[in-house]
A and B are shown apart, each in its own frame.
Chain A
Amino acid sequence: MGETITFWILAVVSVSAALGLVFSRKAVYSALMLGVVMLSLAVLYAVQDAPFLAAVQIIVYTGAVMMLFLFVLMLVGVDSADSLVETIKGQRVWAAIAGLGFAFLLALGVGNATFAAPTGLAKATEAAGGNVPSLAHLIFTRYVFAFEVTSALLITAALGAMVLAHRERIRPKATQRDLARARFTGPQPSPLPGPGTYALHNAIDMPALLPDGTVADKSINRVLARHEMEGGFTPTDPVKAALIKQVLERDAAQDRDSDSGDEPVQAEDAAPRQEDGK
């Protein structure tokens, strides 16, 4: 009885989380939904006499794999939204139809099979005394070759990831001396203005105020401002909104002028970023 209740709760949770994974617009939400599915599957493993797999599921999947996913999401950019343009015409509709048909077929096939009551693992595990010792016994006897090959696979994967993620350093690493020189030859030797005299907030999305109450132009965070403009949450203060818009437009004009210049990809580890207001 307890198993039935657990199953139905977790079935609803995991199917809706899986649907959320597929249909949420933001990739981070998808990752969190995948975490929910994995956790509920871990509980289902535990219910089905597989405590070791439940622990491994939580440690390996929700622990390691999900963290890796989130790391890469942060590296690649959280707001890399899905493009809604269909490269192949009607692909989305046909994919959905094919997927639904597949689900129907699979559920029909599985649902038609009749099973006797599950044998249970009590008999299989009693010789070695418990789930984990029995699994260990199997891994190190019958499946020992596959287990050895697994170690080769893991080493290959680790080496491959290192090789793939490695980047040649094209120019020498900037020393502190170079950084200082770049800063003092740049347009702004001092730090950017912090929250001003009469500022109500010191949050990073709030521009600093000058003593006369006007917004300090240089304190506007370009990334956040662009995000606000694209998301449509402009500041309530019309002066501030106008200023942000003006700064962004000027930046866009500057970008168009300097686009023919250097490659932005390699510029990360050279000079420090210069936020010039010109």
Chain B
Amino acid sequence: MTTHYLVLSALLFAIGAIGVLVRRNAIVVFMCVELMLNACNLAFVTFARQQGNLDGQIIAFFVMVVAAAEVVIGLAIIVMIFRTRRSASVDDANLLKY
């Protein structure tokens, strides 16, 4: 059963990675990052049960805390960029390019 959970986690992670690469809307890109974090948590929980050791669940817990903080800051940045540039597309924020 462990393998099943790990394959599911890998699939979700890869789908999230594809989303980050393909999508242009900054909010959707952010959601895909959240999906990748969730996939990692699933792997942590699976390994915790596999090894009979609670450390994996603790790490997953910390990942959730950090993800919550990251979402707050990231969305604040997106809102700020949207206010000044009137766009939530990642292609439009290229001021540092040249």
Contacts and interface: CB of A to CB of B under 8 A. Distances in A.
Contact of B12 (A3, A37, A85, A139): A37
A22 B65 contact: no
Which applies to chain A's interface (DSSP): helix, strand, loop or mixed?
helix
Contacts of B41: 41, 45, 53, 57
Given A57-B64, A119-B49, A154-B69, A107 B11 contact: yes
A96 B25 CA distance: 17
Contacts of B22: 22, 92, 95-96, 99
B66 to A, nearest CB: 7
B42 A41 contact: yes
Interface string A119-154: 111011100000000110011000100100010011
Which applies to chain B's interface (DSSP): helix, strand, loop or mixed?
helix
Interface in A54-85: 56-57, 60-61, 64-65, 68-69, 72-73, 75-77, 80-83, 85
Contacts of A95: 18, 21-22
Contacts of A14: 8, 12
Interface residues of B, number: 72
Interface string B67-91: 1111111011111101110111101
Contacts of B46: 48
Interface in A89-125: 91-92, 95-96, 98-100, 102-103, 106-107, 110-111, 113-115, 118-121, 123-125
User: Which has the most chain A C-beta neighbours within 10 Å: B18, B48, B86?
Assistant: B18
Interface string B24-49: 11011011101100100110011011
Interface residues of A, number: 84
A153 B62 CA distance: 11
B75 to A, nearest CB: 5
A135 B34 contact: no
Nearest to B62: A146
B65 A154 contact: yes
A34 interface: yes
A129 to B, nearest CB: 13
Given A82-B25, A123-B52, A143-B58, A64 B1 contact: no
Contacts of B61: 52-53, 56, 135, 139
Given A50-B45, A53-B64, 18 more contacts: A41-B41, A49-B49, A50-B57, A52-B61, A69-B27, A72-B27, A82-B28, A111-B7, A113-B3, A118-B1, A118-B52, A138-B58, A153-B69, A157-B72, A160-B72, A161-B73, A161-B75, A164-B77
Interface of B: 1-8, 10-19, 21-25, 27-28, 30-32, 34-35, 38, 41-42, 45-46, 48-55, 57-58, 60-62, 64-73, 75-80, 82-84, 86-89, 91
18 contacts: A7-B5, A30-B28, A31-B31, A48-B46, A50-B48, A52-B57, A53-B64, A69-B31, A82-B28, A87-B91, A107-B14, A113-B3, A121-B52, A135-B54, A138-B58, A139-B61, A150-B66, A164-B77
